[in-house]
Chain A
């Protein structure tokens, strides 16, 4: 099923696990090397920057190659205006992908990523063209086709992004089926999506850890995140109201069960966080923390209790206070929690991502009044203009 060499995938998992032990000092370098020699990994997997470069270049090559083919056949026939042509291009990319993976042993090298995304994208576009007739788009078959396609890609290429698309497409399929075939579908759809997401999340969490599925660990993590997000979104007050307004065509209508949806909007993130802490589940914890922001934004959209500046200041103080309290509390590890830095090398250190984010977000700190002309050095030209930046 999996296009990649399964022994190597297993060996890679082993090496990754032992690498952490090596960094923590549980095993020596010589031992790690001995294990790595006994369980070798033959994939071609370059570093992250090479991967980005190869991804970009592959996109350029495929794009121009497709352009060349289209140009060559453009004069010959009207073939290129049909979905069949896109299908053909998708199949060509797919063949290239299989060749690269099977004969060159590329694994997450950028080349296989790019070919995978391009062919998935072309297939989806072709399906979209196939199932739309002039201005009518038939979403039900499109979502079904994308689901089947991304499911195949995630199973064969163990790709996380395809996994996420697959989950989203499945829920879209449920949505369109339910609203089309059930008479009062529109009124019940939030609950159906809630049930579907919740159930699927539970399935992923419960059975994703099975030994048989060891290669798909990351896909299941992604699936859990997607389903947790959709579980929340299905009951979010703003989303439910916007949807029901769009269907009924009257804006500003209050929705039935409003109190229930408000409760869902405000409380669910904290339920996630609570369970995340209790089960030591990073996915639940982090998703919950993210969704707190969603809950606050939703609330502020409807109730302007405080002006923005005061709200921001108070929020900042609160967040800093919480962080300080947690740090104080975890000075000594408590209940298996610590705030010490984990000993893993990751790409964030290489790119110094944090400092770049700081520079990007604080670049607009109010430092001087707006309309002014700066003078460059002792020179004689003012360089203000549109790129003054404040």
Chain B
């Protein structure tokens, strides 16, 4: 490896000064990600352990000790965070140290466990279950904004969905969701619009701009899936085309926004979701024709459109790279 720099130096591609710097450099072995993974695992194990412990020991004397322990952990963690954090700002605030994020995470999760237990055992919020989710959710949003923590923000967004009666995390979205109900489709649509509005406002008001990704990520998936589900739900009535229309206008909006922000991730999502919509329309047309030729045409459509999209993506990628 040293040979390489000597050659570059001899060719005059690297100045004397930089060459000295490279000679001086010492490669430290960084265990940064190992430490972060360990901290994350520790928080995960501890919170799930305590969560199980308290529900198993309900109605025994032990559970009050566990409850006190959880409260203690929660208060301790949050007190530490308030003490060490940097002053609040509408921009990105760096964490004071590596452990900070995980202390906050531990505090937030134990807070959730604590409130959940209070509700379960003492019915603090009575039968007003909405309130029992709303209040922890608001606290989570506050913590996320105050300490600038993306993970807590995402948990808060997840809670917002739960409060509305649905779920946003990919696994549950795919496995447990039942899109055969009008109510759920509309709920998802409203949730998606709320999240996308949040993303828009975050950028517009220049308030914690780096949070935009989280809102937009969940918002885009939820909104597109809801619109597609709506289309298939009303497949046999003319009403379904309104959903497709909504989908394409949303796609155009996100497309422009993603292009402006140079975000290829959202461009890709828009393209793929729109492709699903266009293809389902195309398949619908081919199905109308009761003929074997239509089947061939359909296959040809997929091959042709696929190749076309590949060329389009390649071109788009070049455009974004150069601009």
Q: Within 8 Å CB of B11, what residues of A?
A: 38
Minimal Cβ-Cβ distance residue in B for A324: B99
Choose the segment among B164-172, B201-209, B240-248 that binds chain A (4+ C-beta atoms closer than 8 Å): B164-172
Q: Is the CB of B18 within 8 A of A26?
A: yes
Choose the segment among B83-91, B231-239, B249-257, B263-271 that binds chain A (4+ C-beta atoms closer than 8 Å): B263-271
Contact A47-B317, Cβ < 8 Å, known A35-B8, A323-B39: yes
Q: Within 8 Å CB of A61, what residues of B?
A: 302-303, 306-307, 310
Minimal Cβ-Cβ distance residue in A for B298: A64
Q: Is the CB of A17 within 8 A of B34?
A: no
A342 within 8 A of B: yes
Contact A336-B28, Cβ < 8 Å, known A50-B317, A374-B164: yes
B112 within 8 A of A: yes
Contact partner of B22 (CB less than 8 A), chosen from A26, A358, A376, A386, is A26
Q: Considering the chains assembled together, what is the distance between the CA atoms of A386 and B133 in angstroms?
A: 18
Is chain A's binding surface mostly helix, strand, loop or mixed? helix
Contact A373-B30, Cβ < 8 Å, known A52-B268, A323-B39, A365-B112: no
Given contacts A308-B52, A310-B49, 10 further A-B contacts (CB under 8 A): A46-B314, A49-B265, A57-B309, A61-B302, A313-B45, A326-B38, A338-B31, A351-B265, A365-B155, A383-B187
B274 within 8 A of A: no
A304 within 8 A of B: no
Q: Within 8 Å CB of A316, what residues of B?
A: 41-47, 49
Q: Is the CB of B116 within 8 A of A368?
A: yes
Q: Within 8 Å CB of B39, what residues of A?
A: 320, 323
Q: Considering the chains assembled together, what is the distance between the CA atoms of A54 and B166 in angstroms?
A: 32
Q: Is the CB of A376 within 8 A of B165?
A: yes
Contact digits for B36-69, partner A, Cβ 8 Å, 1 yes 0 no: 1111111111111111110110000000000000
13 A-B pairs with C-beta separation under 8 A: A57-B306, A58-B306, A65-B303, A310-B49, A313-B53, A315-B45, A316-B43, A326-B38, A338-B28, A339-B31, A357-B40, A366-B55, A374-B129
Q: Is the CB of B49 within 8 A of A314?
A: yes
Minimal Cβ-Cβ distance residue in A for B134: A374
Is chain B's binding surface mostly helix, strand, loop or mixed? helix
Q: Is the CB of A363 within 8 A of B158?
A: yes
Q: Is the CB of A372 within 8 A of B317?
A: no
Q: Considering the chains assembled together, what is the distance between the CA atoms of A61 and B45 in angstroms?
A: 44
Q: Considering the chains assembled together, what is the distance between the CA atoms of A390 and B52 in angstroms?
A: 14
Q: Within 8 Å CB of B49, what residues of A?
A: 308-316
Minimal Cβ-Cβ distance residue in A for B24: A26
* Interface residue tally on B, bucketed by range: 35 or more
Minimal Cβ-Cβ distance residue in A for B177: A387
Q: Considering the chains assembled together, what is the distance between the CA atoms of A61 and B155 in angstroms?
A: 38
Q: Within 8 Å CB of B105, what residues of A?
A: 358, 362
Instruction: Report A161-193 residues with CB < 8 Å from chain B CB.
Output: none
Q: Considering the chains assembled together, what is the distance between the CA atoms of A58 and B303 in angstroms?
A: 9
Residue of B53, B303, B316 with most chain A CB atoms under a 10 A cut-off: B303
Q: Is the CB of B265 within 8 A of A373?
A: no
Q: Is the CB of B165 within 8 A of A385?
A: yes
Contact A53-B169, Cβ < 8 Å, known A282-B29, A373-B129: no
A77 within 8 A of B: no
Q: Considering the chains assembled together, what is the distance between the CA atoms of A71 and B150 in angstroms?
A: 50
Q: Is the CB of A365 within 8 A of B47?
A: yes
Q: Considering the chains assembled together, what is the distance between the CA atoms of A317 and B214 in angstroms?
A: 30
Q: Within 8 Å CB of B150, what residues of A?
A: 352, 354-355, 358
Q: Within 8 Å CB of A341, what residues of B?
A: 30, 32, 98
Q: Is the CB of A366 within 8 A of B113?
A: yes
A249 within 8 A of B: no
Contact A58-B310, Cβ < 8 Å, known A313-B45, A369-B119, A387-B176: yes
Q: Within 8 Å CB of B138, what residues of A?
A: none
Residue of A308, A374, A382, A387 with most chain B CB atoms under a 10 A cut-off: A387
Q: Within 8 Å CB of B316, what residues of A?
A: 50
Q: Considering the chains assembled together, what is the distance between the CA atoms of A34 and B11 in angstroms?
A: 11
Q: Is the CB of B313 within 8 A of A54?
A: yes
